[in-house]
Structure 1
């Protein structure tokens, strides 16, 4: 039933209302035509929808046919008002009253079930209603905004994500091919399990994008306000963003797997060279241990009363691991070879260091003897400089020390004491000419001032003569080069020279 008439409009007010309503009618028609051609609408109409999208579209999909029905009612009412206005150039009172009722009153009959806005979608309604043209325009705007929101959101998801999924899946296929070439497969390696899980996730995401795009849409926090249809039929921008978090997470996971596989690929290219390097280190360690065993026999033959440490045997466990590494390389099991090869390189380097330490410890007695020989030669040169080389005491002590140092086996403790007594014989007695600082002290003769350390052996271990004599003489190991005779048994570059 029509509502009671309001104030009667003047002729000028009628003309202005007709112009405004006509412009609004044209804008609605343009917007509806654009919405009907919207790609998102065509996809929604043809897709097999599921989930949230199916739920919403089952209600919102009724909007476009209803919009055209409401638009027809609006156009018919506006046409009726224009026909009344066209009867007379200057309408009288009855015509103005009729026009006022048509333009401002509840003069338009529309189907029921047309709720006022998206908040009442699916709510029960009357079979028919009578509304004014302005109310009908508001209802059309509300329906238009609701339909456009769903259509634009679905179109935004379908525009942004399918190409991205295709790129991710193409990259996944490339990584899977690389993994297969490296022997990485599901069930045998964690990376293979990760790739299989990524494959399942991306396929599920692709299905979800195709059938339930609204599940990947995050609306803006503030809902779009109902308003006039956009000017010129513009589609408007969706109020929200596409949710790409799961795609980003899958992309990061795929990058991580790819980097680990590329590390295995570099291992495959470098494995032969690295295994050869491990073998070279072990060969050098074996050669050093063999030299240490030979030197130990020489020390036991040439040095008396000396405890020489035993030389360890080769690391057989490392060779077994090298055989395993070669087998893994032959079978292409690079993911198992990677940690094993790292451990082998570290163990081979430690084995070489252990062999060198053993050689150093074994040859220390020979180094001590060589140093004592050098000191004896230095003291002999000092005796000649002091013109006491022919002194019977000096000569006797020199010969005694020399005999001890060049005899085999050599008693290092006795030899050290003899060298100390020879050095003491070079000191003039107090009050004699030449006595004083530097006269017979090695420090004044230009020899090095470093204290005697016995090449790592304790000086006290060779008796009090060493403590009282050699440690105080101030001659360093450089004295070994002062004599004119070769330093038999001196360690040079890790090898024992002489007899």
Structure 2
């Protein structure tokens, strides 16, 4: 039996719990998720969970009324006198801690029994058990209501926005000739439309299919007494929606690339034509250079000049046809290949010109060297030297005659260069060494001169 102080503390605690339960039930009644669930056409997991939890809302208020009535009865007994008698304390002890509350069926949800198990018609429970029962039912209801509200708040509006964006992208696809059955991007868009529509239907009818709780509902039911009147933890599964959004972004980027291609195709085709025209001009120059080499350079093997790229001309015609018929998805890869091939063709023509004109470049280099050596001869005062003049004329005649023998001309230029080198003194003409730290005697110098004269003779 409780004493007076214990009775007063129990009444205060139970009164605070009653106020908390009432506030939680009022908040649940105004919950947006509960309003959306009421009368909604549900399916799948959500219908199963809500069919078990829907009756809990009315049951919670019924249990709360019984709780409030029992608490009011205990307060009435306690208010009779300041110091209750032993009989009153016994009555209060029974009301506050005994099985004095009669309730109708309404089992506490747990993992041990299925949610559809039959309940007893009448039960005698304590106030603590009644509070625990309300906690369990509240946990069950708020789990469903909060999860559904979280999904409905997170996905439908985003799906509608993505569907609107999908419609815009489909219009963009039609403007660049991308249509179902004719291009993979159009097929991707049609598939995305089906998936988004199916996802929206699933979100509206079975939102709990996209809810990922952090704990299973049975665990929340068992722990309700310790953490009652709180919303469950979890997250909305948006992985599928996010994948669709990323795929739509990829398709949009590809379509915008086709749109840019439509705007730039004329200029790019003109650039390809310009590259091929430059390649043709270069090949023509190479053919003229080849004829000149054959006519003016002797004993030279000249490689043949390739012909114009006829296959590229045909590909350009096909690209123009794609452009005129709006087949941009086919024009894109063809135009990329044409640009690469045209650049390679120009490089091939330049390489052919370089190989063909190589002998002419060698002759021009020899002519330049000859003129440079001639200017050197003038600076050295050898311009009138007969040997220098003879070698210069020989090299000049070889370089300016046709056909030109490049090997003989190179040797002649080399001989002309050697003629410009100053003569090296002979060993006997070198200055005598110093003897014993003094210059040679005059007689010695005279002897050296005589020896030099004899050697020259």
TM-score by length of 2: 0.83
Is the 1:108–1:133 contact (alpha carbons within 8 Å) kept by the matching residues of 2?
yes
2:157 is paired with a residue whose SS is helix
Distance 2:416 2:72 in 1: 139
- What are the residue-to-residue correspondences of 1:342-421 with 2, within 5 Å? 342-381=336-375, 395-421=389-415
Q: 1:98 to 1:352 in 2, by over 3 A?
A: same
Alpha carbons of structure 1 residues 298 and 63: separation in structure 2 relative to 1, 3 Å: same
Deviation at 1:350, TM superposition (A): 1.5
Match of 1:317, SS?
A: helix
Q: Secondary structure at the match of 1:218?
A: strand
The residue correspondences of 1:35-434 to structure 2 (distance < 5 A) are 35-85=28-78, 91-115=84-108, 117=110, 120=113, 121-221=115-215, 223-224=219-220, 225-227=223-225, 236-381=230-375, 395-423=389-417
Q: For the structure 1 residues 56 and 407, does the alpha-carbon distance in structure 2 shift closer, same or farther, using more than 3 Å as the test?
A: same
Distance 1:109-1:362 versus aligned 2 partners, 3 A rule? same
Q: Are residues 67 and 117 of structure 1, via their aligned partners in 2, closer, same or farther at CA, if it must alter by over 3 Å?
A: farther
Instruction: Give the Cα–Cα distance (whole angstroms) in 2 for the partners of residues 90 and 393 of structure 1.
Output: 151
Distance 2:99 2:287 in 1: 117
1:388-416 CA distance string (max 9 Å, x none):
65666555554444333333222333434
**1:291 partner SS:** helix
For residue 382 of structure 1, report the CA deviation from its aligned partner: 5.0
Query: Which segment is superposed worse, 335-344 or 151-160?
Result: 335-344
Residues in 2 aligned to 1:61 and 1:300: alpha-carbon distance in whole angstroms: 102
Question: Does the Cα contact within 8 Å between 1:117 and 1:139 map onto a contact in 2?
Answer: no
Tell me: CA distance 1:84–1:309, structure 2 relative to 1, closer, same or farther (3 Å). same
Determine the C-alpha separation between the residues in 1 that align with 2:406 and 2:264.
52
More off after superposition, 189-198 vs 353-362 = 189-198
Q: Distance in 2 between matches of 1:26 and 1:388?
A: 125
- Contact 2:297–2:402 (8 Å) recurs in 1: yes
* Contact 1:118/1:143, CA 8 A, preserved across alignment: no
Are residues 123 and 40 of structure 1, via their aligned partners in 2, closer, same or farther at CA, if it must alter by over 3 Å? same
Query: Once the 2 structures are TM-superposed, how far is the Cα of residue 143 of structure 1 from its aligned partner?
Result: 0.9
Aligned to 1:474: none
How big is the shift at 1:313?
0.9
34 and 387 in structure 1: CA distance in 2 versus 1, 3 angstrom threshold: closer
259-268 or 49-58, which moves further after superposition? 259-268
8 Å CA contact 1:111, 1:127 repeated in 2: yes
Residue 312 of structure 1 deviates from its aligned partner by 1.0
Secondary structure of 1:67's aligned partner: helix
8 Å Cα contact 1:401/1:418 also seen in 2:
yes
Offset, 1:282: 1.0
Deviations 1:41-76 (Å, cap 9, x if unpaired)?
121122211111111111111211221222232233
Give the Cα separation in 1 of the matches to 2:323 and 2:367. Answer: 54
Q: Residues 77 and 313 (structure 1 numbering): CA distance in 2 closer, same or farther, change over 3 Å?
A: same
Structure 1 residues 124-133 or 277-286, which shifts more?
A: 124-133
Q: Deviations over 1:180-199 (max 9, x none)?
A: 21222233222222222222
Q: 5+ unaligned residues in a row in structure 1: which ranges?
A: 1-6, 437-499
Are residues 286 and 94 of structure 1, via their aligned partners in 2, closer, same or farther at CA, if it must alter by over 3 Å?
same
> Superposition RMSD on alpha carbons, in Å?
2.9
Cα distance in 1 for partners of 2:250, 2:95 equals: 70
Which residue does 1:454 correspond to in 2? none
Structure 1 equivalent of residue 25 of structure 2: 32
The 1:26–1:411 alpha-carbon spacing in structure 2 relative to 1, beyond 3 Å, is closer
Contact 2:33 2:148 in 1 (8 A): yes
Cα separation, 1, equivalents of 2:76 and 2:321: 97
Alpha-carbon distance in structure 1 between the residues aligned to 2:211 and 2:381? 107
SS in 2 for 1:311: coil
2: CA distance, partners of 1:83 / 1:381 = 134
Bigger mean CA offset, 76-85 vs 327-336 = 76-85
CA change 1:11–1:413 in 2 (3 A) is: closer
C-alpha separation between the residues in 1 aligned to 2:350 and 2:171? 47
Contact 1:383–1:426 at 8 Å: present in 2 too? yes
- State the shift of 1:118 in Å: 6.3
